[in-house]
A and B are shown apart, each in its own frame.
Chain A
Amino acid sequence: MDTTLRITSARAGSDFVARIEKVSGQKLLACYQCGKCSAGCPMAAYMDVLPNQIIRLAQLGMQEQLLAARSIWMCVSCLTCNSRCPKDIKIAEVIESLRMTALRDGQRNDHLNIMELSPEARAVLPPIATISAMRKLTS
């Protein structure tokens, strides 16, 4: 992602915003950017766009930046953000709806290829690891 971000409200009412709100069941405009979600996120260190920034970009309908973010594939739905949000926004649900938007585009935009792992690596993994990863990261 570019380090310079041009913010515009031109797409705030777009179909993309409406779809994210519908699929996640969340009201994005409730967020007042306190940053508690990012402060407690165990994956924040591995993210390019922090959870509170994801909500801001989603409010503004910045689809391309969101779907290209590494962050949406790093979130593991631990729900720490959800449980700490003072506005009761379920940030993990918003991130899941972004992942699913990317995975449902018909392009097999998968973010995990199990067959690329070595047979040794595959052999030690418990079924819950591989199944959950495939459910969250593949179409």
Chain B
Amino acid sequence: MGNENKPMKLVYYPGCTLKNQATNFDVSTVSSMAKLDVEVEEMAQWNCCGTVHALDSDNVMNRVAPITNLIRVKEANASEFMTSCAMCYNTLKRANIDVKQRADALETINDFLSLEKTKYEGDVDVLHLLEYLRDRVGFDKLAERVTKPLKGLRVACYYGCLLVRPKEVAFDDVENPMVMENLVRALGATPVDFSYKTECCGAYQTVDKPEVIAGRTDKIMGSAHEEQADLVVVSCPLCAFNLDFRQDDAKRLNPDFHNMPVLYFTQLMALAFGCDESALRFDLQHIDPLPALAARGLG
């Protein structure tokens, strides 16, 4: 770390859901980064990332939305940017990898975007916040900024699919990632071993098949409960919706289901850094985390 007092600047892509249902993810990201002397600057004129990577190789059209965002990063005179949403990260990073490998697809996209002033040339790096915190900020510095250690809090870290699959986008071990556990430990909490941490939550089937999600939520949250976790942390607003808001459906499916709060990892950071309620926005959680935090003398 060079000059400790000089704030680092970082271009930030929030994504649609962080400006809608998941504003708690947005405000906790920005507030906790400020505590780490990182000034996050929201990208101008960002658009939807496309949410999912098209797996059909001839579908160049679905690469246009993510690539347009990479052009905006270039226009901000940056060569890299950060997003905290796992879904945006995966879609943006996969599109970037794809066009770097396929010059013809990149040319087609640039032709389609011919009214843009800037051409995309594969020259922007997509970073996830967890990767940035581990590699640029460092968990030692993170630990130094903790004013309210989360002592005794048992946390199950849920990665889902998008941070670890495919392996080309992963920035940690794909079968047993540990980056969130190490972050949680730096905040003073106790990460629990959790066998469902890279199991899929059912994703967008939540739109018209909540009963399917109920089954996934029951299994995933049940596994965290078995490990005596107090709460689960996530990095994806779709996982958060399924694991938190669909707990009512899980309870209908399995009367023995135990409700458990689901937080974004950034909310846990903001809590440990002593940020106030405006940076936490626990009021947006479906399952109130305050009783679980209070039971450990926190919150």
Contact = CB atoms under 8 A, between A and B. Distances in A.
B221 to A, nearest CB: 14
Contacts of A117: 207-208
Interface stretch (B34-42, B47-55, B73-81): B47-55
B293 interface: no
Contacts of B62: 135
Interface stretch (B184-192, B196-204, B271-279): B196-204
**What size tier do the contact residues of chain A reach?**
35 or more
B174 interface: yes
Interface stretch (A8-16, A28-36, A58-66, A71-79): A71-79
Interface stretch (B14-22, B108-116, B129-137, B227-235): B14-22
Contacts of A119: none
Contacts of A127: 16-17, 20-21, 48, 51
B85 to A, nearest CB: 8
B87 interface: yes
The binding surface of chain A is classed by DSSP as helix
Interface in A88-139: 90, 92-93, 96-97, 100, 112, 114, 116-117, 124-133, 135-137
B55 to A, nearest CB: 4
A25 B102 CA distance: 13
B241 interface: yes
Contact of B203 (A25, A78, A90, A125): A78
A132 B203 contact: yes
With most chain A CB atoms within 10 A of its CB, the pick from B167, B207, B208, B241 is B207
A112 B20 contact: no
A97 B56 contact: yes
A78 to B, nearest CB: 4
A81 B237 CA distance: 23
A126 B237 contact: yes
Given A126-B237, A128-B16, A74 B205 contact: yes
